Structure 1
Amino acid sequence: MRRILAGRYELRERLGRGGMGDAWSAYDSVLDREVVVRLVRTDHDDLGTARFFRAARAVGALSHPGVATVLDSGLDEGGSLFLVMERIHGRPLQQVLYEDGAPSVGAAVEWAAQIADALATAHRIGLVHRDLKPANIMLTDTGSVKVLDFGIALPAGRDLSGGTGTSVGVGVGVGADVIGTPGYMPPESFTGGGQDGRADLYALGCVLYQLLTGKPPFSGRSVVELMAAHLRRVPDPPSASRPEVPAALDALVAELLAKDPRDRPADAGTVRDRLRAITAALSGPPRVLSAVLALSAPPALSAASAAPAPGGPERPPDPPLNANGEAAVAAVAGDSLAHALARLFIRLGPPPEALRPDRAPAGTGDGGMGQ
């Protein structure tokens, strides 16, 4: 006999299991539509139930084409907490990577830009996802991406965990101190630091790295090793595995994966804009592409070209940096498209200290955990 929740949601097929709970395809008999029902794991007490409904109300306020819409939530007669979400047809990026391998650089950048745009909207209303990973991002049949499972998101700066658990697993539910998937969690989540939108940016950096290289930036044979990797290791730049990755994209990935949240980009909107600029450069004429990517390369990576050739003309000085470390990029003479791209303010800030040329990477692995 099929299970029916709240007298209307008929559970039909289990789609998967995650840290938040089991996901089921379901039929809404009231509105005659397909939906997805998530049976949520949480503390079975009044405090855990109250936390769940606070989170559900917060997520219900999020409206963006790149986010799976939460349609309903409740507590059924059997005592099960559940979320009802729109049914999206497509494949999770985890499945895309497994079946198809790494996508083109252009596709990876475009998908990441769409994810960043969704995060920007969530962060503006104070929501942090805290479990962004390829398994929670759907590539739809129309070619766009949607972020799933915002149901474990927390209002920024608020603790809904209640301090009732300490486990770190393949994902931890609403009633735990640490929420997320170890392969994509920022260093501050392991050290007791507070998490804001920059935690999602770190996870986005992990996802983007995996899209570009086909493997996560960090791996380990145990959760403890993986935590240590997030805290101490610096991965090779994506271009080490894929030479067609431009320097501007290497630089952005390095900033997203910065150990200190203060060294990451200011917000998801900034990340989106920089990714859009890279997309425009990748699709532009070769001469404009070279000009824009040269402008967006980190100064430390282009320092070798600063000295003039013996007997040759002196090289023009680099554009000045403003107080935010952004280049006051001058127009590229004769290229109107380059003028437009330059106005998209690709940041030239110096690479994180751990990526300085005089510091060798600590090494990476090719496995992954927690998907």
Structure 2
Amino acid sequence: MSFLKRLFGKRPKRVNIKRRFDLIGPIGQGSMSKVWKAFDNEVGRQAALKILDREKTDRFEARFERREKPSEGEIAVSLSHPFVVRTYEHGLTKDGEAFLAMEYLEGTTLAARVGAESEPDPGERCRWFIELGRAIEYLHSCRYLHRDISPRNSFITVNGRIKLLDFGLTIPLQKEFCRPGNRTGTANYMAPELIRRQQTDERVDVFAYSVTCFELATGQRPWQPAKSLDAMMHHMNTPPKSMVELAPKFGTEVADVIMQGMATDRDRRWPSMTRMLTALDQARPKESSPPTACAGSK
């Protein structure tokens, strides 16, 4: 029996959602799911309740037929890190739709903070970059690829802590899952090798993370926004905008680290989140607060 089967072999339990949870109101919607603010009557606390569309989820999972891919819920409940949203339960509704019960977060996604300040504070933003990077580094240490890093899937709480969200496209960091042909993600943050349907590794997350950092620093995307993957072929043919020109207060050292993370040739990109974070931590303004957790925190 394989490791994944041993780890995730239990059948998910079915739950009467209407009896278990009081649905307070919708708080988000993705391509394959809806998220509700809810009250969990069984444990007596607020929760973010994510319910996945069964038909869309089945179509996505069909890409991995005959490969033992853990579900989003199985992956999410296995993660425990200060900068990753906590999922405390997953299962099936009585109608057979998958659900995840997560910690309810007060705050906003980082997408809402892009361009919100005309001159964002470099110290504060670099702290965000480090915290988000630590979450991705931790995910990689657990042998997973996120594959959908973006400001929309990154959250800042009212207390100023970053949380990585949404593991709907996450896959095990193994050859059978990273082989050529499996192209998915958000177009403006997808690495060129992913668009080309080539073999992938941690560097696709490094690329998406670097685009996210660039956008939070400058208020702009490094390439012209695109609504299709064909349009994103510009990643391979057009140089990105200059971060140091758009956001000079961040300095050349921080800009250079982030620009290297967006290299369209993956062999010129940072080889791992750990290497990139080491360089970014050394380059960032010294007055910014250090992160409060390391990659392996449980």
- What TM-score do the two structures reach when normalised by structure 2? 0.80
Question: 2:268 matched to 1:263?
Answer: yes
Measured at CA, do residues 251 and 14 of structure 1 come closer, stay the same or move farther in structure 2, by a change above 3 Å?
same
Q: Deviations over 1:229-257 (max 9, x none)?
A: 22222212211112223111121112100
Partner of 2:3: none
Measured in 1, the distance between the counterparts of 2:22 and 2:41 equals 8
CA distance in 2, matches of 1:101, 1:108: 13
Mapped partners of 1:128, 1:44: distance in 2:
20
**1:103 alignment counterpart:** 120
| 1:214-240 deviation digits (Å, cap 9, x = unpaired) | 011122454145312222222122111
The reply on whether 1:191 has 2:196 as its aligned counterpart is: yes
SS in 2 for 1:244: helix
CA distance in 2, matches of 1:197, 1:85: 26
- Name the CA shift for 1:35/1:160 in 2 (closer, same or farther; >3 Å): farther
Q: Secondary structure at the match of 1:11?
A: strand
Letter in 2 for 1:84: A
Using a 3 Å threshold, how does the CA distance of structure 1 residues 80 and 161 change in structure 2: closer, same or farther? farther
Provide closer, same or farther for how the CA distance between residues 37 and 205 of structure 1 changes in structure 2, counting only shifts above 3 A: same
- Please tell me whether residue 78 in structure 1 is matched to residue 83 in structure 2: no
Q: Distance in 2 between matches of 1:43 and 1:77?
A: 16
Give the Cα–Cα distance (whole angstroms) in 1 for the partners of residues 69 and 49 of structure 2: 15
Q: Is the 8 A contact 2:187 2:229 kept in 1?
A: no
Structure label with greater radius of gyration: 1
Please give the alpha-carbon distance, in whole angstroms, between the structure 2 residues aligned to 1:94 and 1:36. 19
Q: Which runs of 5 or more structure 1 residues have no equivalent in the other structure?
A: 167-176, 285-371
Residue 211 of structure 1, aligned match among 208, 213, 216: 216
**Distance in 2 between residues matched to 1:141 and 1:278, nearest whole Å:** 27
- The residue aligned with 1:128 is 145
User: Is 1:246 matched with 2:242?
Assistant: no
Matched with 1:31 is 43
Q: TM-score, normalised by structure 1?
A: 0.66
SS class of match (1:229): helix
Secondary structure class of the residue paired with 2:25: strand
Provide the rounded CA distance (Å) in 1 between the counterparts of 2:115 and 2:218: 12
SS, match of residue 245 in structure 1 = helix
In 2, the alpha carbon distance for the partners of 1:34 and 1:121 equals 26
* Residue 274 (structure 1) aligns with: 279
| Contact 1:157–1:194, Cα closer than 8 Å, also in 2 | no
- RMSD across aligned positions (CA): 3.0
Find the counterpart in structure 2 of residue 342 from structure 1. Answer: none
Partner residue in 2 for 1:89:
106
Offset from partner CA, 1:88-135 (integer Å, 9 cap, x none): 111111112254456212222111111111111110110111111111
Alignment counterpart, residue 152 of structure 1, candidates 155, 165, 169: 169
Q: Is the 2:107–2:157 contact (alpha carbons within 8 Å) kept by the matching residues of 1?
A: yes
In the TM superposition, residue 270 of structure 1 has moved relative to its aligned partner by: 1.9
Partner-residue secondary structure (3-state), 1:36:
strand
Please say if residues 114 and 272 of structure 1, whose CA atoms lie closer than 8 Å, have aligned partners that are also in contact: no
| Alpha-carbon shift at residue 78 of structure 1 (Å) | 1.3
State the distance in 2 between where 1:102 and 1:130 align: 29
Partner of 1:14: 26
> How far off is 1:194 after superposition?
2.3
Q: 1:83 to 1:122 in 2, by over 3 A?
A: same
- Amino acid of the residue matched to residue 9 of structure 1? F
Query: Partner of 2:284: helix, strand, or coil?
Result: helix
* Residues 220, 229 of structure 1: 8 Å contact kept: no
Structure 1 position 67, deviation (Å): 0.3
2:184 is matched with which residue: 163, 179, 182?
179
One-letter amino acid matched to 2:273: A
How far did residue 57 of structure 1 move?
2.0
Question: For the structure 1 residues 161 and 188, does the alpha-carbon distance in structure 2 shift closer, same or farther, using more than 3 Å as the test?
Answer: closer
In 2, the alpha carbon distance for the partners of 1:30 and 1:145 equals 28
Distance in 2, matches of 1:239 and 1:280, equals 15
Distance, in Å, in 1 between the alignment partners of 2:176 and 2:114 is 34
Q: Which amino acid aligns with 2:193?
A: E
Residue 217 of structure 2: SS of its match in structure 1?
A: helix
Q: Secondary structure at the match of 2:155?
A: strand
Following superposition, which runs of at least 4 residues in structure 1 exceed 3 angstroms of deviation? 41-45, 47-55, 98-102, 158-163, 280-284
Contact map agreement 1:218 1:226 (CA 8 A) in 2: no
Query: Residue 20 of structure 1: CA displacement?
Result: 3.8
